[in-house]
Amino acid sequence: MSSRISFSQYRLEAEVERCRSECQWEKVPGLVEQLAAARIHQDDDYGMLLLAEALLEECLLENIALLHCSTPLSEQSKLGRAKAYLNNLLSRGRLEPRCLNEALLLMAKVHYAQGRYRDAQGMCARVGIDDLTRDGQPLYYLRLLAEAFVIKGLSLDHQALSAASRVRLSEREEECLSCYLSACDAALLYLQELDKVCMPVRLKNIIGAHQLRRVMRVVESRGSQTFRKVMSVARKLAEVLLSSISEDGYWNPLSTPPNACLNREGTTHPKDVIYPSPKPPQRYSGDSSFCPQDVVEEAILLLLITESMASADAILSRTPEHSDAREASVQDTSSVYDLLTIGLARRGQYDMLSECLERAMKFSFNEFHIWYQLGLSLMASGKGVAAVSVLKECAKMSPQDPTPPLLATKICINQLHWLKEAEALAQSVIDMDERAEEALPRAHLAIGLCLSLRASDATLKADRDDLNRKALQTLQKAHTLDPQDPQIALYLSLQLALIRQVSAAMEPLEAALSLRSDELHSLHLLALLLSAQKHHQHALDTINLALSQHPENFNLLFTKVKLEETVFGPSQALQTCEEMLHLWQTDDTSSIPPAESGQLSQKQPSGPHLILPDFQETETGSQSAPSLAVSRLEQAMSEVSAISSAHRQGPTYIWTTLERIWLQAGELFMAQGRLKEAQFCVQEAGLLFPSSHSVLLLRGRLAELRGNLAEAKSLYDEALAINPRGHHILLHLGKLLVHMGRVALGEKFLRDALQAQSTAHEAWSGLGEALQNHGCSQAQNCFLTALELESSCPIRPFTVIPREL
């Protein structure tokens, strides 16, 4: 009997030590009751020490946010009870020396939590933590020791605020640093020892995964069918694979775990563990079966099998007598879909995930979690319309939660451009008042962005001015509610820039950059604001800084081209254009699907068509013969025909970017007077998008430079038919008509250009010229307005900064 009691005591004390090491404080009170029932530690207060530690740790976990802010805790119920237990222990003096040290360290933790830093330091000094040994100590003791060094260092830090001599402050800083270094060493030792304790668990997971695979491969029988459904063998195996098997440690289902893997986990007899039976049951052969190649692939396959069975067996009846069975069915399927989300998200297969979750809708009435997962998967797969509908239903199921309507607002703004719908959804968040909490500034930001975007789309100047005013007020309110949000500060600055309050826009932008100094759009906006103030060199330096952190951002590169053209001239800007073509060829073509990119690589040459043309002779610099130019042009066009035949296969934005690069290079060649090269670039862009209004506009400008005014007007008319509100098209067409002597019609188009973009100084200047030809006295006002707007005009429009949540 004595041996049985001794073994029971050993097992109970080992469980206590394990719970203390792994911080499982909720189990400690039950273990203390077992110790008391077994009459263990009757002669001391060990059980009271365990209760005090559990209460203290639970209190600290509940108030972790206050501790991070160094806010002292009041003597609430758990902290007060823990302190009373410890005071009682220390006054009675019945503890062993090691347990006494533990009690003193716990009391130091209590003093620190209450803000009594000198008393906490005194407890650490009383224990003499610097002299305590770490060899052969229990695992939980190493954690206590690491925490004690941290408490001593923090307590010294807080006391250093009082008046003291410079020498004493230096000594205290060195003592604090020594405490932190000792705490670091003790904590790392604790983690290493904890890892050794947890190692057998990972071994069991490996063995468990192998055994579950063996069960899955057993030849089907009537009894095993029920077993597989009830026990969810496939789901359990998927859980083990996703949680415990790494990509590098994976082995295929038809083989055994590698011995190296088992030996690494601590076993010396892997075969004895893997083959427990001398006569295994009959299994399916793997000759003609599909074999997964990685851990995620196998987990997804298992979960799809489980999902099909769970969907077939789901309880659809809504009658009260089936409520318990229906709830259990929903919980089982929900766990399967959660695991599917983990696996498919790791492969980026959001389309497949949304299809799986859509199948769950038939038994997920009013189940917020599954609906919310469906909304997120639709959002990730780019199905914006469906995602908004699902998230609206989520908002109805959980009217207190501001997240679903905010996500729907984000989709409406970023993907669908449903501005009024987004504004209504954001307003529903604002109507929650205090329930919205941290989401309230984001809701005001969303409304401000909607109003700003609507102002850009407005056709009447009065409506545009009114919407810009409301947008500015809303963004200012959002910034007042959360001045630490860098995105709100950025868009407040952008809105001020859009209404040409350039100097005022600097202040919120500085706040945004102080919060996030490497933010892409903030740096880009800073460069545009500097260019609006005519500090072009500083703007170029800012763009180069942004490009050092975002070297593949084409939006920044287009701004760099414009700035280089202004600062250094078109030649330097053309070099950047050539770098952009090379960057596009090396990076963006990787976004084309593999089969399509392979087809493209077979059709097109190695890339001569992505080099800017040069039809000048090397020695003389004069124009080469027309025949040579034509032959080179035809050769380049034949090379680029591969892109034209395949450009519909990849994402549209890739080819739009390439079109913009060619058009930008064409403008630079036109600025140099190299019209043949400009013509080549226009042809390249036209092969990508023949009906693009931007291509037609540049072709018209090129024809105008060559003196073909009628052809230029025809091309401008075609571009205007495609994009009736394009203010650049209206501007060039209006100026051309004035030049051709059709002043009245030209004036009309120039006024339309101003209606589309009231801050376009070129349109004001052109309108002034038209009115001057009439002899109208308002021409002078137009010229003054043009000068005023030109003084605050950025190198590129402020609208190149995307307004998105």
Q: pLDDT digit string (tens) for 505-558?
A: 999 999 999 999 989 999 999 999 999 999 999 999 999 999 999 999 999 999
- 459-512 pLDDT per residue, tens: 888 899 999 999 999 999 999 999 999 999 999 999 999 999 999 999 999 999
What Å distances lie between residue 59 and 23, 32, 66, 80, 146, CA to CA?
13, 19, 11, 10, 19
Other beta carbons within 10 Å of 420: 10
**Cα–Cα–Cα angle for 31, 36, 41, rounded to 5 degrees:** 100
pLDDT band at residue 758 using 50, 70 and 90 as cut-offs:
confident
- Across the strands, what pairs with 616? 623
Question: How far does CA 609 lie from the centroid of its chain?
Answer: 36
Phi, psi of 498 (to 5 degrees): -65, -30
Percentage above 70 pLDDT, the chain = 79
- The DSSP output letter for 740 is T
pLDDT of 381 reads 92
Q: Beta-carbon neighbour count of residue 321 at 10 Å?
A: 7
pLDDT at 181: 81
pLDDT mean over 677-690: 90
CB 446 within 8 A of CB 805: yes
Task: State how far the Cα of 107 lies from the Cα of 575, in Å rounded to an integer.
Answer: 70
Lowest mean pLDDT among 288-292, 444-448, 495-499, 528-532: 288-292
pLDDT score, position 277: 53
Task: Fill in the amino acid letter for 267.
Answer: T
Pair 336, 369: CB distance under 8 Å: no
Arithmetic mean of pLDDT over the chain: 80
Helix and strand totals (H; E) in the chain: 38, 0
State percent of the chain over pLDDT 90: 36
Q: pLDDT band at 271, cuts 50/70/90?
A: very low
pLDDT for the residue 619: 42
Structure tokens at 697: 């506009």
* Residue closest to 780 by CA, chosen among 765, 794, 790, 800: 765
Is the pLDDT assigned to residue 148 strictly greater than 70?
Answer: yes
pLDDT at 714 exceeding the cut of 80: yes
Per DSSP, 414 falls in state I
Judged against a pLDDT cut of 70, whether residue 173 lies above it is answered with: yes
* 146-166 average pLDDT score: 73
Helix or strand holding residue 736 (H, E): helix 727-739
Q: pLDDT confidence of 101, banded at 50, 70, 90?
A: confident
Contact 156, 120 (CB under 8 A): no
In a 3-state reduction of DSSP, which class is residue 609?
helix
Supply the pLDDT for residue 359.
87
- 109 versus 617: the higher-pLDDT residue is 109
Residue 134 tokens read as: 């770490």
Spell out the alpha helix ranges (H) of 347-460. 350-359, 368-380, 384-397, 403-411, 419-430, 439-457
Q: What is the reported pLDDT for 262? A: 53
Residue listed under structure tokens 């862009």 = 685
pLDDT of residue 540: 95
Please name the amino acid found at residue 801: I
HEC profile of 631-694: HHHHHHHHHHHHHHHHCCCCCHHHHHHHHHHHHHHHHHHHHHCCHHHHHHHHHHHHHHCCCCHH
Look at residue 54 in the predicted model and tell me its pLDDT.
85
DSSP class of residue 616 equals: B
pLDDT for position 17: 78
Cα–Cα distance measured from residue 494 to residue 487, given in angstroms and rounded to the nearest whole number = 10
Q: Cα(25)–Cα(43) distance, rounded to whole angstroms?
A: 24
Give the CA distances from residue 88 to residues 93, 103, 252, 266, 589, in Å, rounded to whole numbers and listed in that order. Answer: 9, 11, 60, 44, 73
Structure tokens at 182: 């000792």
Report pLDDT for 68.
75
Question: What are the tokens at 212?
Answer: 């579950």
Average pLDDT, integer, range 143-154: 84
Q: What is the pLDDT of residues 9-22, one digit of tens each?
A: 777 777 887 888 77
Query: Residue 40, SS3?
Result: coil
Predicted confidence (pLDDT) at residue 160 exceeds the cutoff of 60: no
**Position of tokens 């190296």?**
260
SS (HEC) of 88-146: HHHHHCCCCHHHHHHHHHHHHHHHHHCCCHHHHHHHHHHHCHHHCCCCCCCHHHHHHHH
Q: Can you give the pTM of this predicted structure? A: 0.71
pLDDT for position 278: 53
pLDDT band at 164 (very low <50, low <70, confident <90, very high): low
- Supply 300's token pair: 């997804």
